Structure formats: structure tokens, C-alpha cells
Amino acid sequence: MLDDQALMQALNSTPVVDGRRQDLWQDDQELDRWAREHGGLGGDEERRWLRTARDALQAMESGEPDGPGEPGEPGGPGESDALGTPGAASTADVADATGEPDASAEAGLRRVLAGVHRVPRPSGSGIEWHLEAPAERGLAVELVLAWADVKERLPGRLRPCGNPECRLFLLDRSRANTARWCSMKTCGNRLKARRHQARTRETSGPGTE
Ligand SMILES: [Zn+2]
């Protein structure tokens, strides 16, 4: 299973640099590096599935249609909902305050998960669950499962950065669950400084904090 860090790397692979959205995963080598680090095989098909999964997850979380154009459709139509894991991908809790996640994001996830099974196999200490998915799609499936796992384990903790100009996501592990920025250093300070400027302009006097 992919860990939270791997999931966040994937979600945060489209940072805004100098006001422009960059897609680090557009670079085949960059994406292959991430894939191999996490047990992937590299290669065209795998990359296409990973981009599809990432685009869909980003759109689910930001609540807006996303990504440059239609995600690729390398697979044929398969049976849906074949993943036999209770609660693995419930769609009920993904709609958040920002609005309905768009249908194409869900369709993207459905394509990634089509025909995937989890099967029990006996092991020394009981049973182990094995994921059965086409090899080139396996890592994309794991990415979606890692996302579903975070949603279940840390409900309400994964969200877009509070800076509307930022495209990153954060996973808030603080007790109070009040983190708003992908990073205090960048977005947090920038917005605080801007608000402070606005405030001092309004009140035009010291000591009114
Ligand atoms: Zn940010």
C-alpha cells in the first residue's frame, strides 16, 4: 500500500510556479521515478493510468473539473464496483463544502478501478489480501486506494491549500485540525502579510490588534 507521503506527492505534482500551473508528472522521467520508488514498472501505460488517477483525485478534492483535457482512456469498459472491499471507495463522503465533485472525476476513478479485485489468500498468520489488477494499472489502483484509506482514517484532514492561487493539498495532522496552508512558509506567510497590510491600511493606527 502506498503511504500518505506518496499520496501527497502525487496530489501535489501540479504546483503553481511564478503564477503558472506546472505538471511535474508531464515529464515521463519524473513520473517513472516516482513510480519505481513505489514499486511501479515504469512505461507508457502505467504513466497514463497514474495521470488519470491523479487528475481524478485532484478533481475530487478540489471540487472542480481539472486537468488539461480529457484524461486518457487506455482501458476498455469494465465492470464497475468490482473492488470487494467494504468502504474502500465510498462516494458519499467526498462531496464537501466546495461543491459536488464533478462526474468526470468519478468516471476517471471508475475506469481505474474497473475489474479490480481484492482476494484473500492464506498466509502463515491467517489471511492476506491481494490486489488483482492489470500490471500496468496496479500502481494507479493503489494510489486511489491510498486516497480512500486517508479519507477513512483521517476524515476531513485532506484538503486544498487555503490560498486560492495555490494548487497544493495538505493533510492536516494537527490536533485542532485548523491548518489552512500547504506550508506556513510560503502560502501562510504570504496571505498573512497581505491581510496585515490590508488591516493596517484600514485602521491606520497602531495598537488596534
Ligand atoms: Zn499553498
pLDDT in tens, 23-49: 999 999 999 999 999 999 999 999 999
pTM of the model: 0.75
- In the chain, where the domains are located: 4-155
pLDDT at 160 (0 to 100): 96
pLDDT in tens, 174-202: 999 999 999 988 898 877 787 788 888 77
Give me ligand 1 centre to Cα 4, in Å.
Answer: 18
Give me ligand 1 centre to Cα 97, in Å.
Answer: 18
Give me ligand 1 centre to Cα 147, in Å.
Answer: 19
Give me ligand 1 centre to Cα 183, in Å.
Answer: 6
Residues within 5 A (CB) of ion ligand 1: 161, 163, 166, 168, 182, 187
Give me ligand 1 centre to Cα 15, in Å.
Answer: 9
pLDDT at 83 (0 to 100): 45
pLDDT in tens, 94-120: 444 445 667 899 999 999 999 999 999
pLDDT at 9 (0 to 100): 98
Q: What is the 3-state secondary structure (H, E, C) of the chain?
A: CCCHHHHHHHHCCCCEECCEECCHHHCHHHHHHHHHHCCCCCCHHHHHHHHHHHHHHHHHHHCCCCCCCCCCCCCCCCCCCCCCCCCCCCCCCCCECCECCCHHHHHHHHHHHCCCEEEEEEECCEEEEEEECCHHHHHHHHHHHHHHHHHHHCCCCEEECCCCCCCCEEECCCCCCCCCCCCHHHHHHHHHHHHHHHHHHHHCCCCCC
